[in-house]
Amino acid sequence: MSNDQFFTATALHSWKQVVGRYSDGIAPRTDEELQKRVAPGKNRLYYLLGHLTAVHDRLFPLLGIGERLRPDLDAAFISNPDGTLPDPLSGAELKALWNEINTKLTAALERLTPQQWLEKHTAVSDEDFAKDPTRNRLAVVLSRTNHLSYHTGQAVLAK
């Protein structure tokens, strides 16, 4: 492997590890348990799962690697806070969707060449990218990996 390939393999390994850790924590939770809150008055596990699912679904167009599976979920899980809209899916359906989206995402990321990891993501203009070339696909994936870790830290607090 070249240096380039080691860099992308290491970043991808971190992504898979963090997705795997959260998925393992969520897998055994029943629909009832997903209704628990991470702390009094804070988000339900169900809402966090929906939020993370919608945010990861948005990575397909943001990284230019495919079409979204469920753009309709943004209203319940991104545009509005927990409890605003009726829950659009059961907990079991949401868990299945989370797994489906991440399996497809990871497969698409594995197909990227090192050069493609360094290309700009679709939400930055050519002009802005010329000024700051770290606004690339890798930056987005590192950012979303950390976003997932942030909410994983919250999810483990639910009692």
The residues that touch a second copy, with contacts defined as CB under 8 A, are: 1, 3-4, 6-11, 13-14, 17-18, 38-40, 42, 114-115, 117-118, 133-134, 136, 138-139, 142-143, 145-147, 149-154, 157
Nearer to a second copy, 95 or 144 (CB): 144
How many angstroms from the chain centroid is the CA of residue 115? 22
Token reading at 74:
């943004």
Alpha-carbon distance 76 to 86, whole Å?
A: 8
Least Å distance between CB 121 and a second copy? 12
> Least distance to a second copy from the beta carbon of 90, Å?
25
Nearer to a second copy by C-beta: 18 or 108? 18
Least distance between a second copy and beta carbon 108 (Å): 19
Q: Which residue has the tokens 């070249």?
A: 2
Angle between helix axes 45-57 and 91-111 (nearest 10 degrees) is 30
**Residue 60 CB coordination number (10 Å):** 18
